Amino acid sequence: MKKVHIKKIKTLSKVGSKPIGLACAPSGDPDVPPRKG
Amino acid sequence: MQLRRFKDIVAIKSDTGVILNDTITAFHASNLEVAEISEESFQEMTEISLLSGEIPSSRDTVDEEARLALSNWDEEQNSAAKSGKFEFGVRSITLNVNQICNLKCVYCAAGGDGTYGSPANQISIEKTLPQLKMLLSELKEGMKFSLTFVGGEPLIHPEAVKAIYEYVTEKCLKVLALPNFTIVTNGTLIDEKTSNILKSMKINILISLDAVKEINDVVRPSKNNESSTDMTLNGLAKLSKDRGEILSIGIASVCSIDNVDLVKNYRFFKTLNPDWLEFNFSYSERSQELNKKYIEQMKLIAEIAWKSGGEAELRKIKDFNHYFKLLDSQQKVENHCGAGKSYFVIDAKNKLYTCPWVVGQKEEVVGDEDSIKIESLKNYSKPLIELNNCQTCWARYLCGGGCMYINKAHSGSKHTKSISFCERTRSLIVLALMYYKLARS
């Protein structure tokens, strides 16, 4: 049998679940710069 | 940990910790795909370090089948991966409510004392509301808009925060845009009155607290010589009881040469039960040794978080949540931030800038209370990945090209990369990829 060399991981959106974690991550938005100190 | 690369694919093999297992994590940079790959495929790849963003030369083929699998994957195009390019439009503003502070943190990027070199009392509401009206004029139904209140210390003037909050909420409601508010505060001034004002708003509160008391009082001293840690913890206690409308409470810490035990800090922060945590790195810090220590400790923190609560606990740490979100939504990031494109800063004198860390620098002013100087923004129009020459880096679509301010602080040029920033960012992305595979497998 041929060996599977690449096994892709399904993203959450593809398996249709709801995201786990924070409902709001205010500075996780790319428009908002991360704080650097 | 071993890191290898083949064209646009990077692979990680962990040899220690909770993510020690027989499987190898791989990531297709432009497709935002995570995969498990075979040992044979890993052997076909070239060793790289976290310092490198270049595509290494390929090794001689040993296993043709494994090499072909890698090549085929590399050439695939994932139509689900969304572009991170966006057009000019104000979507996010940080506002300096004032430029005075009751603390004098040793690493303070705002001129060393929260003033940006030019103290200013409360921002003029009379000037700010029309300025916001002008900046928000393009907002439309369904668009998100973020407003972050900073200082100095914004809670020296809580009524100003509330007045601006109410105005922006009303403006957004009128056009059915979606506002999101955050306040960054040291938490030391949260008394009954301030607490009630905060609890009356739908706002995220980010408390700046760096470490356990013996360190925090040294790196974040107050101007009246009281323990800033005690003051912040009192404020947090007031907020935590009956939280009203408050959306979330986060803690943001800064790693610096005087504050290096991040694992100890993490355990301390957990006792305060925040909704989320940020582990930032002092913008001016140049120590390679500290950079390595930060990387090692973030690995340990991720492991502690994962062991104690899996994905939910890991995602309470802002960076990990951010990378998980991008991978789940298949959203590429082509700008580390929206500076000069979608993101602006209003200082306490109503001058407009592209970044909080250039406030007070005359050459960086891009507008005032009446207008945006569009011509001064033309240098910001290209994606940061392009401006900062990150096209070959495997982490580019999760990082978005790095921070222009950190680049400038380290190299003198906004577009000459800070290598220590790149190393740190890649290390966090590597961790995120490994835990993402673990979480989704």
SS (HEC) of chain B: CEEEEECCEEEEECCCCCCCCCCEEEEECCCCEEEEECHHHHHCCEECCCCCCCCCCCCCCCCHHHHHHHHHHHHCCCCCCECCCCCCCCCEEEEECCECCCECCCCCCCCCCCCCCCCECCCCHHHHHHHHHHHCCCCCCCCEEEEEEECCCHHHCHHHHHHHHHHHHHHHHHHCCEEEEEEEECCCCCCHHHHHHHHCCCCEEEEECCCCHHHHHHHCCECCCCCHHHHHHHHHHHHHCCCCCCCEEEEEEEEECCECCHHHHHHHHHHCCCCEEEEEECCCCCCHHHHHHHHHHHHHHHHHHHHHHHHHHHCCEHHHHHHHHHHHHCECCCCCCCECCCEEEECCCCCEECCHHHCCCHHHCCECCCCECHHHHHHHCCCHHHHCCCCCCCCHHHHCCCCHHHHHHHHCCCCCCCHHHHHHHHHHHHHHHHHHHHHHC
Does the pLDDT value for residue A34 go beyond 70?
Answer: no
What residues in A contact B262, CB-CB < 8 Å?
Answer: none
pLDDT band of B109, cuts 50, 70, 90: confident
What residues in A contact B355, CB-CB < 8 Å?
Answer: 33
Residue B429 contacts A where some CB pair is shorter than 8 Å:
no
pLDDT (mean) for B343-369: 94
Residue B285 has what pLDDT? Answer: 85
Residue of A nearest to B69 (CA): A5
pLDDT (mean) for B40-49: 97
Q: Cβ separation of B84 and A12 shorter than 8 Å?
A: no
Residue B22 has what pLDDT? Answer: 65
> Is the pLDDT higher at B49 or at A26?
B49
3-state secondary structure of A9: coil
Residue B23 has what pLDDT? Answer: 86
CA distance, residue B185 to nearest chain A CA (Å): 13
What residues in A contact B328, CB-CB < 8 Å?
Answer: 11-13, 19
> Is the pLDDT higher at B223 or at A27?
B223
pLDDT tens per residue across span B413-427: 999 999 999 999 999
Residue A31 has what pLDDT? Answer: 46
What residues in B contact A11, CB-CB < 8 Å?
Answer: 34, 327-330, 440
pLDDT (mean) for B133-154: 94
Residue B21 has what pLDDT? Answer: 63
Two tokens at B296? 């090692």
Q: Cβ separation of A34 and B182 shorter than 8 Å?
A: no
What residues in A contact B282, CB-CB < 8 Å?
Answer: 36-37
Residue of B nearest to A29 (CA): B322
Does the pLDDT value for residue A23 go beyond 60?
Answer: no
Exposed/middle/buried for B243, CB within 10 Å: 0-12, 13-18, 19+? middle
Residue B301 has what pLDDT? Answer: 97
pLDDT band of A1, cuts 50, 70, 90: low
Residue B202 contacts A where some CB pair is shorter than 8 Å:
no
Size of interface A-B (CB pairs under 8 A): 162
Q: Cβ separation of B436 and A9 shorter than 8 Å?
A: yes
User: Has this prediction a pTM greater than 0.90?
Assistant: yes
Q: What is the overall mean pLDDT for chain B?
A: 93
Nearest to B92 among A8, A23, A31 (CB): A31
pLDDT (mean) for B304-308: 95
pLDDT band of B441, cuts 50, 70, 90: confident
Does the pLDDT value for residue B365 go beyond 60?
Answer: yes
Element (H, E) at A21: none
Q: Cβ separation of A36 and B281 shorter than 8 Å?
A: yes
